[in-house]
Amino acid sequence: MPNLRLNRYISWVRFLPVSAPTLILLTLIALWAGCQSPQQPAPAITDLSDSPRLARDPARISSTEVRENEPEIPARDALRPQPQPTPPATNRAPAETLTRSPLDTKPRRAKTPLRLEWISLAQWCQEHRLAEPRKLPGENFVQEIKSSSGLVTLTLGSHTATWNGVQFWLGFAPRSQRGVLHLHSLDLEKHLRPLLLPDPDLTPIQRTVVLDPGHGGDNLGTRSILRAAYEKDYALDWARRLAPLLAAQGWQVFLTRTNDRALSITERVEFTSEKQAVLFISLHFNSIPGHPNQRGLETYALAPQWMPSHHSRDGGEPIAFALPGNAHDEKNFLSAMKIHASLLKATKAPDRGVRRARFMGVLRNQSQPAVLIEGGYLTSPSESRNIDHPDYRQKLAEAVAAALD
């Protein structure tokens, strides 16, 4: 097509009254123009990854992507996901937790920091350079593990264990495999390791504590069966007695409330974060209507990720989610054990153990180490009489102070 146009141009320009040089110049211009091909628009490049339709279509997401973005919740008895990289040990909360607002309490699905599996207790002790577990005589399969920090006793099939005689609850009852006692890896990591191999770096340099008298205002708490007295008043008196004892030991002490007023969980959590407390202690008294013989002390710490609670409400619970307080699992548990042991020693009350729970908002939403104490049953005739007596509440206060001295 360009050659045909050029021939027509040459046949036409011959008859123009121009000089030879001019004619040659015009001919060269025509040749240059005729050699240029008309430019076509470049084809559009489609990036399939940007397609909204494909982004919404789960069938087009690879199985690898699904595993990376949404780890499956393992069955309670299977509990064998693929091994995940273990982060370096540290007593600091992850950066994400430190930067979150204390009011941002939405659970975060996270990968498990260790393999969820059953491990031979003897093998675990060997790996951690502890003495071989000792089997006690008797019908029950009971074993002891000893270290320089104390003695742990475990029973086959029982959720309850003891540390130096103080009861605590395991997440999973120990099993026997081929005659060898096995514990769940979560119990080994979250219970036995902190007790038998404590981290010295957990000792706080800063000594700031927040005391939280439970309930308040129109939130009465439990009513004593002894008389018309309520949990909110007993808890406030307990905190008022405890505060000067801790201050005398060098603690900077703050109370979430100093009078009879209502406080939301959010306000209690935010107050603790503002004070940058190294420990939050929520003070309560227990109840179980219709069971007057139920007595004893309980102390609670937040349940670790993937571990079932020992006390739950409203059915199921999100065990696969890491909560803000889980950044302090070890500190939570050790603080609860120390306080619980001191309370038992002072009161001689029945030992109902250190337990784990998620429903308690003051524990679940804390970005600081936290425990919750149940100082006895107001539905028990004998314990309600004790709790009503000022000397007993002073004894409770002195026991908590002794644990933190």
Kindly report, residue by residue over 382-396, the tens digit of the pLDDT. 999 999 999 999 999
By the 10 Å C-beta count (0-12 exposed, 13-18 middle, 19+ buried), 145 is classed as: buried
* Claim to verify: residue 236 and residue 384 sit in the same structural domain: yes
Would you say residue 8 has pLDDT above 80? no
* Claim to verify: residue 240 and residue 361 sit in the same structural domain: yes
Q: Which of 113, 326, 337, 92 is nearest to 201 (CA)?
A: 92
In a domain, 77, yes or no: no
pTM reported for the whole predicted model:
0.73
- Per the DSSP assignment, residues forming a β-bridge with 228 are none
Q: Who contacts 331 (Cβ-Cβ below 8 Å, separation ≥6)? A: 91, 202, 279, 369
The predicted structure's pLDDT at residue 13: 43
**Predicted confidence band at 24 (pLDDT cuts at 50, 70, 90)?**
low
Q: Compute the average pLDDT of residues 194-211.
A: 87
The predicted structure's pLDDT at residue 90: 35
- 404, 371 in Cβ contact below 8 A? no
pLDDT tens for residues 252-306?
999 999 999 999 999 999 999 999 999 999 999 999 999 999 999 999 999 999 9
In a domain, 280, yes or no: yes
- 330, 199 in Cβ contact below 8 A? yes
In a domain, 313, yes or no: yes
Q: Compute the average pLDDT of residues 198-212.
A: 86
* Claim to verify: residue 183 and residue 301 sit in the same structural domain: no
* Claim to verify: residue 192 and residue 209 sit in the same structural domain: no
Tell me the two tokens of residue 114. 């260790």
* Claim to verify: residue 359 and residue 236 sit in the same structural domain: yes
In a domain, 374, yes or no: yes
The predicted structure's pLDDT at residue 311: 76
Would you say residue 20 has pLDDT above 70? no
Domain boundary among 166, 196, 226: 196
Q: Compute the average pLDDT of residues 73-83.
A: 35
* Claim to verify: residue 211 and residue 191 sit in the same structural domain: no
Q: Compute the average pLDDT of residues 24-44.
A: 45
**Position 367, amino acid:** S
Taking all residues of the chain, what is their mean pLDDT, rounded to a whole number?
79
Q: Compute the average pLDDT of residues 11-25.
A: 49
* Claim to verify: residue 232 and residue 373 sit in the same structural domain: yes
In a domain, 83, yes or no: no
Taking the C-alpha atoms of residue 343 and residue 397, their distance in angstroms, rounded to an integer, is 9
Taking the C-alpha atoms of residue 163 and residue 291, their distance in angstroms, rounded to an integer, is 28
Question: Domain of 346: which CATH number?
Answer: 3.40.630.40
Taking the C-alpha atoms of residue 131 and residue 122, their distance in angstroms, rounded to an integer, is 9
**Predicted confidence band at 367 (pLDDT cuts at 50, 70, 90)?**
very high
The predicted structure's pLDDT at residue 2: 47
The predicted structure's pLDDT at residue 25: 54
**Predicted confidence band at 332 (pLDDT cuts at 50, 70, 90)?**
very high
More confident residue, 324 or 68: 324
- 190, 183 in Cβ contact below 8 A? no
In a domain, 265, yes or no: yes
More confident residue, 110 or 60: 110
* Claim to verify: residue 242 and residue 377 sit in the same structural domain: yes
* Claim to verify: residue 186 and residue 216 sit in the same structural domain: no
Domain boundary among 196, 221, 240: 196
* Claim to verify: residue 392 and residue 260 sit in the same structural domain: yes
* Claim to verify: residue 244 and residue 367 sit in the same structural domain: yes
Domain boundary among 161, 196, 231: 196
% pLDDT > 70, the chain: 71
Q: How far is CA 51 from CA 48, 58, 63, 388, in A?
A: 5, 13, 19, 68
Q: Which of 73-87, 196-210, 240-254, 388-402 has the lowest mean pLDDT?
A: 73-87
Question: Domain of 176: which CATH number?
Answer: 3.30.457.10
Tell me the two tokens of residue 282. 């929520």
**Predicted confidence band at 29 (pLDDT cuts at 50, 70, 90)?**
low
Residues in the chain: 405
Taking the C-alpha atoms of residue 107 and residue 105, their distance in angstroms, rounded to an integer, is 6
By the 10 Å C-beta count (0-12 exposed, 13-18 middle, 19+ buried), 81 is classed as: middle
Would you say residue 56 has pLDDT above 80? no
pLDDT tens for residues 88-122?
333 333 333 222 333 333 444 444 457 899 999 99
- 157, 172 in Cβ contact below 8 A? no
Q: Give the domain range for residue 292.
A: 204-404
The predicted structure's pLDDT at residue 361: 86
**Structural domains of the chain, count:** 2
